[in-house]
A and B are shown apart, each in its own frame.
Chain A
Amino acid sequence: MNSDSRKTLISRLRRGPAVRQRLVDSHLAKGLAYQIRAMRERLGWTQSVLAEKLDTNQNAVYRLESPDYGKATLTTLKKVAAAMDVALVVRFVPFSELVDWVSGTPHLSNGLDYSALNVQPFDDEETDGIFDRSQVNIRQAVQPPPTLLDFPNPSNTRLQTQLNLAFNSATITEISTRPRLGTQRYQRREPAMIAPSGNGGELAQLTSLASGGR
């Protein structure tokens, strides 16, 4: 993006806690306003129609869609989500994730992993040097060890290349080995045994073919 490079955002964060909270406020207010407006227009609703569904008035919807407002309550947002039949995610994240989101940098989510619940404050991220790493290094740091792409059959390199193009290795591992909540993550498994059904099924078949049909 041309307006807010990662470097500029990180430099903003380093100006202090007040500036960091300002960034949070600004993107909360603007992000919500633009989302509500875009979703409403996608549905072909006027502000009055949405107001009726929220049991409020058109002026309240106008305020919700104003990037300067920023005072929507969680209750109101839940009502909006229900009216528009979309999900609503409210969660705390480390500033590095906000930087990735605002700058459009791909971010690998750790789901409900404990590290995602026990969010690192800014100073801890700074101490860990998170903001000094390149984007590639950040992704490598959160990437599980590759297992599924170690295809033993060299004749399958074309398929392996296609798979590599379609997904990065972390995504494949994430999808194929996603266990139930609370079980061990990223454990090494044989490709043919992985994900017999659900979202990972087709991928498991592909990886099985690639490894020589084991």
Chain B
Amino acid sequence: MADAPLWIFRGYCTPAGNWDVQDWFDGLPWESKDEIRDTIAYLEHLPGAQWRGPEFKGLGEGLSEIRCKVTELGQVLRIYGTHGPYKSTYTLLLGTAAKKVRNDAKATNEARKRLARVNAKTVGTHEFRFSENTN
């Protein structure tokens, strides 16, 4: 068998217990979901030090973003996240879709708030499901 992934992806749970990023992902058009799956398929096998631009960018203080370009829809998807809080996990904190890559201060601030909650363990995380529910 192929080597197991180096990274397990988890999703942010809101204080109310909602799976915010999972719901965002599940509601995306299939083109966007496919693009994210393809990007994650490579990232999950790469050591953290080899996560680089243009598909990955560190934003400082533990926050980072994964970028996926969906050419057909003319969109750039950004998923804010963090390496942690557990070993070999990357937690997805917030997902956004925009027409262009530019600094999204509002989203970045919200992601930082979520990161602080995750680090303080005032909210939980869940295993992220990229696969389609084919049953």
Chain A residues with CB below 8 A from B20, complex form:
none
User: What is the number of contacts between chain A and chain B, taking CB atoms within 8 Å?
Assistant: 80
A44 CB within 8 Å of chain B: no
Chain A contact residue count (CB 8 A cutoff) = 28
Contact: A34 with B131, CB < 8 Å? Answer: no
Chain B residues with CB below 8 A from A8, complex form:
37, 130-132, 134
Contact partner, A66, options B9, B54, B130, Cβ 8 Å: B54
Chain A residues engaging chain B, CB cutoff 8 angstroms: 1-5, 7-8, 11-12, 15, 19, 22-23, 26-27, 30-31, 34, 37-38, 41, 66-68, 102, 104-106
B123 CB within 8 Å of chain A: no
Identify 6 new A-B residue pairs, CB closer than 8 A, beyond the known A4-B40, A27-B38, A34-B42.
Answer: A4-B130, A4-B131, A7-B131, A15-B30, A19-B34, A34-B46
CA distance A179 to B92 in the complex (A): 52
- Minimum CB–CB distance from A64 to chain B (whole Å) comes to 13
Q: Which residue of B lies closest to A68 (CB)?
A: B69
Contact partner, B50, options A27, A37, A68, A104, Cβ 8 Å: A37
Categorize the interface residue count of chain B. 20 to 34
Contact: B2 with A104, CB < 8 Å? Answer: yes
Contact partner, B9, options A3, A23, A34, A37, Cβ 8 Å: A3
B126 CB within 8 Å of chain A: no
Chain A residues with CB below 8 A from B15, complex form:
none
Given A3-B130, A11-B132, answer yes or no on A26-B8 (Cβ-Cβ < 8 Å).
no
